[in-house]
Each structure stands twice: as C-alpha cells, then as structure tokens.
Structure 1
Amino acid sequence: MSARPGGRWIVTRTFGHRPPPGELAGSLAGIGLATRLGAVVSPAVARDAVRALPTQGAGMIMVTPVGPSEVDVVRDAAAGRRCPVFVLTADPAVSLALAPHVDAVLSDGAALIQLTSPAIADALASLADDTKVVLATPAALLEAGPGWFQRVTEAATSTDPAPGISEVGRDLRRWPAWWWGLLVGIGMIGAGLGAAAITLGPVLLWYDRNFLGLDRDRLHGVNHHLVHFLQHDRITMAATMVAIGILYTGLAVGGIRRGWPWARNAYLASGLIGFPTLLYFLGTGFLEPLHTAVAVALFPMFLIATRRSPARPQWTIMPEGPERQQRRALTGQLLMIITGLGLFAGGAVVSVVGLTHVFVPSDLVFLGTTSEELRAANPRLLPFIAHDRAGFGGALMAAAVAIMGLSAWGWRRGEAWIWWSLALAAIAGFIPPVLVHSHAGYTDFWHLAPVYIGIFLTALALLLARPYLCAGRSAWPRHGAGQSRRQGGGGVR
C-alpha cells in the first residue's frame, strides 16, 4: 500500500501513527535522522523494508551484508526511498559501487546497536545514548508483531500530568476536548435509553401519530404484527445508540483525555459517518423531530471534541508480557476488526435497503403481507418504517467504525478501558435486539444469524484478549519516560 500513490499518507493517517519525539532525533555518518530507531535487513528484503518500514515508524534502514552480486538489488531498493538508507560493508568495491545510490556506506558498526529482542525496555535503554542508532533485526520484528516502532516511540515520548479541575474552572473555552467528547457519549446513551423507553411504552409520539394519521390501536388494525415490528426496529436502533455512547465515552475518557491521537481519529471518523445520516430523511420523506434535536444538540460538542489532535500525552506504557499472551491478544484483535468490518457491511446494506426496498424478505414473511398492501393501507407507512431502518443502518456503521478504530489502533497491554468499552458496547448492542426479536416472535434464524455471529466473534475476541488488555499496572513505576530510561526501568510513563 505504501508504494502506491497516496498510500503512505493512508497508512500513517489511518493507523494512528505519532511523529517521534525530538529527543530521538540524531544523525549517522553526517545524515540527519528524524529518529534513531531503524531496522537492519538483508539485501533480499531491502526493497520491501525501504517501502514499508518508514510508514511504520522506522527512521532509517541499514542493509547488510552486501556482496558484489547484490549491488544491483540494493541500488534498486534504495531508489525512491522515503527515509535514509545505509549500507554496512567492508568491501571497497561494494562501497564504491553503492555510494552514489544510498545515503552513506559504513565500514564499521560502532555507532549501531542491533536488537534481537523486541523488549521495549531494551530499546529505550539503548536509545538513551544519543550517539547510538538502534536497529531492530527481522527476528525482533517478527517476534514483536505489528506496531513495534510505534510502541517504542510512544514509550519514549515524555508525558505530562493532566490539568486539574481548578486549572480549567467553569470557563467553557478552557474545557478540555475530552470533556466535550464525554458529554456526547453521555448524550448518546441518554438518547438511546429514552428511545427505548418510548418504544416499550407508547411506541408512537405525537409527531408520529400526526405523520401517519394513526394511533397505536389503528396501527395494530392495519397489521397485527406491525406494532411489534416497529418495536423490534426501534429497540435495535436504541441499543446501537447506547453502544455508540459507550464507545464514545471510552474514547473520550480513556483515549482523548490521555493524548492518544488515534482515539481522536476514531471518534472523528465514527461521528463523520453517524451525524450525516440525519440527512437520510431526504430519501425517506420523514424527518423525526426528536432525532433531529439530539443530533443538533450533540453535533457542536462533537466538533469541539475532535477539532484538533490531543496535544498533551498522558499515557502509560507497559511491557508486552509473555509472548503467548500477546499472540492470543493479536488473534482477538483480528477477530474484533473482522467483527467491525462485518457490522459496517451490515449497516451499509441496511441503509441501502431502508432507502430503497424498506423490507427484506423475512420481514414480509413475519408481517404476513406485502409492501404494496401496506402502501395501500397508508401511503405514509413505508416512509415511516424506512426512516427507522435507514437510521439504524447509519448508526450501525458509526458504531462499526468506532469498534474498528479501538481494535486496530488501541490494542495495547494494560489498556483495560478498551476491553471494557468493547465489552459493554457489545452487551448493549447485541443483547436487546435478541430479546426484542424473541418477544416479538420474529425468530427467523437467517435474519438473526449476523447477530449470533457477532456475539460469538466478540465474546471469543474479548476472552482471548482479556489477560493482555486487562494486565495489572500496580507493579509498574509511575515516573516519566525520561526518568524511566535513565533508571533502566521497564515501565514507562
């Protein structure tokens, strides 16, 4: 991807990478380095390393050993490079042939430290000597799994304490972004619970009755399954709203508050999909006042919460722990990303169906009628139902993007808030729809199969990842990153 036009920008932006701190900058053989953290590779994989690893956070690539027969391979690998490329060789002929094509050719590795272990504490201890360049070997990168450069960069970033309440006061202009993000999350939870209460109570509010020209009893008279059908649609929508609120609360408190750039990006991406779905009314013909009021009230807070990247890192970093635990967590991470992709695809399908056909075949089987018969009974009935269906699809896509952002970018040992955000959102998002389908008697297996699959994948993913994400921090020091490196500690703040 990074070799394609625009691919580098996509990788660095969508994977939540953070620029290296200034204290990691340095030089090698007179060549400036944005970070003294790089990789050492053989000529056989140099081309891929030069294109891929800089987007992951590598500040330079060292190629060694290089013989006369590999000069052309290294020269081609270095062409179009986006970070400095060096060659380490004692062969004068190789040095002479490659000097015009790489940034520098070294005859000795005195300034280099090669890491065969992916331990973050080892990398930090080596980087403490600002005259050295630290290179990860392929073996270390394979053992570390995805994101090693980024994790070391995060651990090396100095952090500051969060501002106290007294520093902020009541001046809204000084409220931190995460407070506004938290308010949006709480607002979404409250709106979802309110929608559920309405659905389990009167079902129709005054504006619903005015639009349809029907009350609940007359709606039941049109089709004796219709009230239950509306309840099943609206409870599912309400549950998704609560799930989104939980995810936004987690991203605000656990992510944006602690300065994680990826948390703001996940929040922003989700909201930019969710809020515009209000415009679905242009396709359905029904504008719900309560939905509109919630969106209008929360959208300015959302903009304030996401208007800029967090500027003050406050995170803590833990060592990766046992390899077995990490690999199980990576499997869980993959399953959560797959779940998020599935939810997004499902939301897109529901949105399209809601804006076009309104019903899927199993809906009409449950209702025991056809779209034409419902339209003949009340011309406004289909647009009314379409609003609920399309709105649910948009909310599902917004939730899916938040889930994928948390899973793809936030998977770090000891970040228990990620586990709890996903677990609580799953409970809120999956359980009520299953219960309301059962209550309504709408139990078609294939209709509910995506929900069952989502429950299974999420439960398995969280089970595999729990020891990793919820690892305790009590034994780790709480001093700053710079202090930790000087003392050689493994726990970094």
Structure 2
Amino acid sequence: MPDWTYHPVAPLASRVLGRRRTRLWALRFLAVLVSGFGGSRWIPVVFDHPAVPPQWRGRFGATVPLAVARDAIAVLPVQGATVIEVCPVALGDLGALASATAARRCAVVARVPADAPPELLTGVAPLVDRVIVGTDPGVRYLVQQDVAAAVTALAEPGTVVLARPSVLLDAGPAWFNRVIEAATRRRPRSGSPRCRRIRSAGRAGPGPARGRDPDRGGPRRGGDRPRAGPAGVRPGLPRRRHRRTARTEPEPGRVPAARPD
C-alpha cells in the first residue's frame, strides 16, 4: 500500500471502524492480495519497489506479536522486510506459530523468555529459522520512523535492525522502501555510460536559436527570414512561371519579311 493511499485513508477509516479494527483489516486485506491473488509477484512491479541490498538479507525487518504474525509474515516481505521476529512465544502458542510460519518467504525469528522451559525450545526450533532466548545484543529495535537512523544502524556489520509495530503503524508499510531507497541512492560512476552522456550533454549546451543557422551563425533556411528569390520576384511570393512561345520555321519557298531597322 503506497503512502499516498495509506495516509489519507487511514484516519477516515479509523473514525468509522475504529483504529484497531482498521489496522487489522488493512493488514488482512494486504495478506489476501499477497497470498490469494499473486501479489508477491505484481505488487513490487506495479509500485516499483527497490531491490533489497544483498548485505541486508536477514538483517532488516520488524518485530510483531503472534496475533498478527501470519498476516505480517505474508505482507512485510513484499514491502522489503527480510526477517520478522515473533514475540513473545509461550508453550501454548506452538500451533498458532506453526500456522503463521508454514508459508513464509523470509527468515522468521521467535523470541522466548529467558526462563523458557526446555519443552518450549524443543517445540519452537523446528518452526522458525532462529530462536532468541531473552535478549540479543546484536538486535537493535527502532521506535521512531527515522530513515537515516535505520540506514546508519544497518551500516554496522552483523547488526539486525527491527522496527517496532508503532513505527510501521505511523509511517505506513512503505517505510521499508524509503529506507532501501535512501541507502541505495548513488551518483553514477565517472566512467559509466550514463555519466558520459550527462557530460557530453553539458558540453554541447543548449540548441540553436530559432531562425539561426547552427553552422554559419546566419539566418537558417526555412527560419523566420523568408528565402531570397530571383530578380524581379518579391520575397515570400510564389515564383511565376513564364510561358515560352514556340518558334516557327518559315515555309519552304517563302522569304521571311525584313525586319525594320
């Protein structure tokens, strides 16, 4: 969902349906588009989503509660997330976690309490890609929609950057794309074909003025000044065709009349 749709529609829908219900229905609607109508293929193309940098794979995503994990795991990878953390996970949540991660298209991490029983760790491990017990110092949680702060945090090698739900609710689903665009925006290299075209266009300067010959600096043919015609013909008027009279030969035996002096 682009920003020009999310931000104007969200306040209006919240007044009619309520804030929480609007958010849940919007997430469910996007999940239906992605899962049921092939949105994972055409949404990035239609909305021109930038490609995720390879060094961000498995390090850039969001943390969500288990109640919306199924829809978030379906929607957020299409928006640019490469890892989703589900927390908290208890022993009675194994069935819901298995249903949410069955058709995942990105890495899923489950965070369990530090005093989690061994049965919970054994049941969660096959359902996700990684299990975090307690806290992990290598994970940084963002609580503000600051694009520059997210890019700076991702520049640290090995750091996993996850956005809190409040960030996505305030900034909209396109927040991932804005972060990726801010990090991948680069000027063309000095030797690239695009840079050479830009330089050549700058040296050429603007085109010739109207009515001027670009080669001689004089009036251009077909410009504002009319083309000069032959003697006796006014410029700008069509040239008159002169009719030639046929020359007759004298009949045999007849002397032509003398021309008076």
| Deviations, residues 394-448 of structure 1 (Å, cap 9, x unaligned) | xxxxxxxxxxxxxxxxxxxxxxxxxxxxxxxxxxxxxxxxxxxxxxxxxxxxxxx
- Work out whether 1:97 is the aligned partner of 2:120: no
Please show how residues 335-350 of structure 1 align to structure 2 within 5 Å.
none
Q: Give SS of 1:45's match.
A: helix
Q: Give SS of 2:151's match.
A: helix
TM-score by length of 1: 0.31
- Work out whether 1:148 is the aligned partner of 2:180: no
| Deviations, residues 374-407 of structure 1 (Å, cap 9, x unaligned) | xxxxxxxxxxxxxxxxxxxxxxxxxxxxxxxxxx
Q: Distance in 1 between matches of 2:38 and 2:166?
A: 30
**Aligned match of 1:50 in 73, 89, 114?**
73
* Alpha-carbon distance change, 23 to 158 in structure 1, aligned in 2, over 3 angstroms: farther
- Displacement of 1:168 in angstroms is 5.0
* Cα RMSD for the two superposed structures: 2.0
**Partners of 1:18 and 1:150 within 8 A in 2:** yes
Q: Distance in 2 between matches of 1:20 and 1:151?
A: 11
Please show how residues 116-135 of structure 1 align to structure 2 within 5 Å.
116-135=143-162
- Displacement of 1:23 in angstroms is 3.7
Please show how residues 30-429 of structure 1 align to structure 2 within 5 Å.
33=58, 36-89=59-112, 90=114, 91=116, 92-107=118-133, 108-161=135-188, 163-165=195-197, 167=199
Q: Give SS of 2:36's match.
A: coil
Q: Distance in 1 between matches of 2:111 and 2:39?
A: 29
**Partners of 1:56 and 1:147 within 8 A in 2:** yes
| Deviations, residues 296-347 of structure 1 (Å, cap 9, x unaligned) | xxxxxxxxxxxxxxxxxxxxxxxxxxxxxxxxxxxxxxxxxxxxxxxxxxxx
Q: Give SS of 1:106's match.
A: strand
- Work out whether 1:15 is the aligned partner of 2:58: no
Q: Give SS of 1:129's match.
A: coil
| Deviations, residues 37-96 of structure 1 (Å, cap 9, x unaligned) | 101011111001100000010001100111112221111100011111110113132221
Instruction: Tell me which amino acid in the other structure corresponds to 1:103.
Output: D
- 1:268 paired residue number: none
| Deviations, residues 201-226 of structure 1 (Å, cap 9, x unaligned) | xxxxxxxxxxxxxxxxxxxxxxxxxx
In structure 1, stretches of 5+ residues that fail to align are 26-32, 170-493
Instruction: Tell me which amino acid in the other structure corresponds to 2:68.
Output: V
- Displacement of 1:97 in angstroms is 0.6
- Displacement of 1:111 in angstroms is 1.4
* Alpha-carbon distance change, 68 to 151 in structure 1, aligned in 2, over 3 angstroms: same
Q: Distance in 2 between matches of 1:104 and 1:146?
A: 24
Instruction: Tell me which amino acid in the other structure corresponds to 2:53.
Output: P
**Aligned match of 2:56 in 12, 21, 24?**
24
Q: Distance in 2 between matches of 1:115 and 1:101?
A: 26
Say which structure is richer in helix: 1
- Displacement of 1:122 in angstroms is 1.3
Q: Distance in 2 between matches of 1:58 and 1:127?
A: 13
- Displacement of 1:5 in angstroms is 4.7
In structure 2, stretches of 5+ residues that fail to align are 1-32, 189-193, 202-261
**Partners of 1:62 and 1:87 within 8 A in 2:** yes
**Partners of 1:24 and 1:130 within 8 A in 2:** no
Instruction: Tell me which amino acid in the other structure corresponds to 1:19.
Output: A
Say which structure is richer in strand: 2
**Partners of 1:88 and 1:109 within 8 A in 2:** no
Instruction: Tell me which amino acid in the other structure corresponds to 1:134.
Output: V
Give the paired residue count: 161
**Partners of 2:76 and 2:173 within 8 A in 1:** no
* Alpha-carbon distance change, 23 to 101 in structure 1, aligned in 2, over 3 angstroms: closer
- 2:10 paired residue number: none
Instruction: Tell me which amino acid in the other structure corresponds to 1:115.
Output: L
Q: Distance in 2 between matches of 1:9 and 1:83?
A: 15
Structure with higher Rg: it is: 2
- Displacement of 1:164 in angstroms is 4.7
